[in-house]
Amino acid sequence: METKIRKIDKNEIDEDIIQEAGKILKEGGLVAFPTETVYGLGAHALKEEAALKTYAAKGRPSDNPLIVHIADYEDLQKIAVNIPPETDALAAHFWPGPLTLIFEKSAVVPYGTTGGLDTVAVRMPENAAARGLIRAAGGFVSAPSANTSGRPSPTTAEHVAEDLDGKIDMILDGGPVEIGLESTILDMTVQPPMILRPGAITGEMFEKVIGEVSMDETLLGDESEKAPKAPGMKYRHYAPKAKLIIVEGDLREEILAVRQLAYAAKREGRKIGIIATDETLPFYKYGVVKNIGTRENEKTIARNLYKVLREFDDEDVEVIYSESFAVQGMGKAIMNRLEKAAGHLRISAAAVAKQQKYRRVTFVSGSDSARAPMAAEILRHYELKQEYVIDSRGLVVLFPEPANQKAEAIMKSAQMTLQDHVSRQFDEENLQDDALILTIDENQKNKILSEYGQTENVYTLNEFVGDDTQIPEPYGKPLTAYGECFEVLSALVRMLAEKLDSLVEEEQ
């Protein structure tokens, strides 16, 4: 079958296209169309055969019921019975919008559409093209997400075409969707109403309108023994081709764990993916890193989630590690989808961290302008067995300055550079449990010990590697003094690299 693709602008709707698409639906065909949540695969909701076609095109199990989309509130009464009184208030607040309500079905709704259930799921989408299409089709359009069953839901017309080209009659291309996650499903047949699938409309938002609602307990957390109440929630869903693993912990731990996992993969020649955010992107150097949005605005994350999962299918990565997100507001829906995409695979960031005594190496000199940054840069050039955040600090840094020019000249002659270095003041932040602090001389070490009372993990570089070759102070001396200093530092850092690797072996 040839799938026609028609562009549609929701601000300036072409009525002819809507009528053409509506006719296809009336005649029992399939049309994918944009809604504010994800793209839907539309079919006539009151025709048994149309539902069967939908299941076939998606490869969806036929016990997984479809949501019936309406455009006018009065139409609800034609397909649902025993509609509880709170429905008016919910509709007034959230319809049209990303909310699906479940009621007892009326006789006109075929069991094909409801997956054999006596209840029907109903939503009124906001997207104007969607509502135009529903009216043109006679008022009742069943529309599951327009993807192949099990794949990430489509948030663009291109995603729909990837999965369904040749299997459906038409795709209405209205550009990228706004929300990017499927609607919230609220079951109105129980008291209090129960959230069966989290989405953009949250429990707190319902409570302001109708008081208490409950939440299907199988939605978050581990794969439960119990079956979820929305049949569709029991299938592995939204899944990328690669194994997806969620890394859990506080954000700082997560970043370090993901870095460690990416570094280990790189050493072993494995290609991995990372799902990161605006805020964490700069921390990742290895692997295929994709930005899912900003932690400042969870809506950006919701909007990009499926797109990013789909993009990884073209990257040929074997594992994708994802940071996790706060489970509040829309974060609940984000984590629900992410956990399903991961098939509930997760690792604890703290457990990854435990495998490593030190995760940071911070060199400390007086002004952080020559010896400490040189040592840090030399260490960065080693292929160590584990990843470290390697840095330098000064004990007295009045304002940030670039590296000493003679130090830079010497580094350049060794094919290294300090051009991005800016001197920074040492402070308490640097004394974390997983940080190895290496001072250039004994005075600097004693100063840290007396000022911060910290005795663990603070050593002179000489002391830590067990070698007493003095590191000369080149400041104010000619370039050759910097060269000599570089030689001594290089030798000590080589010993340091060996020592760090030997610590890793002891732990393994």
**Which residues here bind Mg ion, judged by CB under 5 A?**
145
Distance between CA 114 and CA 106 in Å, rounded?
11
What string of DSSP letters covers 159-195? HHHHHHTTTSSEEEE--S-SS-SPPEEEETTSSS-EE
Q: Is 121 a residue that touches ligand AMP (CB under 6 A)?
A: yes
The residue nearest ligand AMP at its CB is 232
Cβ atoms of residues 274 and 284 within 8 Å: yes
* Beta partners for residue 362, in sequence order: 391, 437
Partner whose footprint covers residue 231, from ligand AMP, Mg ion, none (CB < 5 to 8 Å by kind) = ligand AMP
Q: Which is nearer to ligand AMP, 62 or 119 (CB)?
A: 119
Cα distances from 18 to residues 1, 2, 33, in angstroms, run 20, 18, 10
| Distance of closest approach, residue 63 Cβ to ligand AMP, in angstroms | 9
- Should residue 231 be labelled a site residue for ligand AMP when binding is judged by CB under 6 A? yes
CB of 3 to ligand AMP, least distance (A): 19
Q: Which residues contact 248 (CB under 8 A, 6 or more apart)?
A: 254, 324, 346, 347, 348, 349
With binding defined as CB under 6 A, does residue 333 bind ligand AMP?
A: no
State the nearest-atom distance from the C-beta of 268 to ligand AMP, in Å: 38
185 binds ligand AMP (CB under 6 A): yes
For residue 212, what are the contacts with CB-CB under 8 A and spacing of at least 6? 192
Q: How far is the CB of 55 from Mg ion (least distance, A)?
A: 12
Does residue 219 touch ligand AMP according to CB under 6 A? no
Q: x/- binding map, residues 194-213, to ligand AMP, per CB under 6 A?
A: --xx----------------
Residue 336 has which token pair? 């629900």
Binding characters for ligand AMP, 88-107, by CB under 6 A (x = yes): --------------x-----
Cβ atoms of 471 and 462 within 8 Å: the answer is yes
Number of helices and strands in the chain (H, E): 17, 21
Where would I find the H helices in 313-441?
Answer: 331-341, 349-354, 371-380, 405-413
Q: Which helix (H) or strand (E) holds 93?
A: helix 86-94
To Mg ion, the closest distance from the beta carbon of 113 in angstroms equals: 15
Judged by CB under 6 A, the stretch of 69-77, 228-236, 296-304, 434-442 that binds ligand AMP is: 228-236
Residue nearer to ligand AMP on the CB measure, 63 or 318:
63
Q: Candidates 162-170, 231-239, 275-283, 446-454 — which segment interacts with ligand AMP by CB under 6 A?
A: 231-239
Q: Pick the closer one to ligand AMP by CB: 238 or 486.
A: 238
Tell me the window of 80-88, 225-233, 298-306, 367-375 that interacts with ligand AMP (CB under 6 A): 225-233
Q: Which residues fall within 8 angstroms of residue 319, CB to CB, at 6 or more apart?
A: 242, 243, 244, 245, 265, 270, 272, 273
137-176 binders of ligand AMP (CB under 6 A): 144-145
Instruction: Output the CA torsion 445→447→449→454 (10° steps).
Output: -90
Contact with ligand AMP (CB under 6 A) among 3, 62, 64, 367: 64
φ, ψ for residue 488, nearest 5 deg: -65, -45
Spatial distance between the Cα atoms of 150 and 127, rounded to a whole number of angstroms: 25
Is the Cβ of residue 192 or residue 483 nearer to ligand AMP in the bound state?
192
Write down the least CB distance from residue 10 to Mg ion, Å: 22
Which parts of this chain interact with ligand AMP (CB under 6 A)?
Answer: 64-65, 67, 102, 114, 117, 119-121, 144-145, 182, 185, 196-197, 230-233
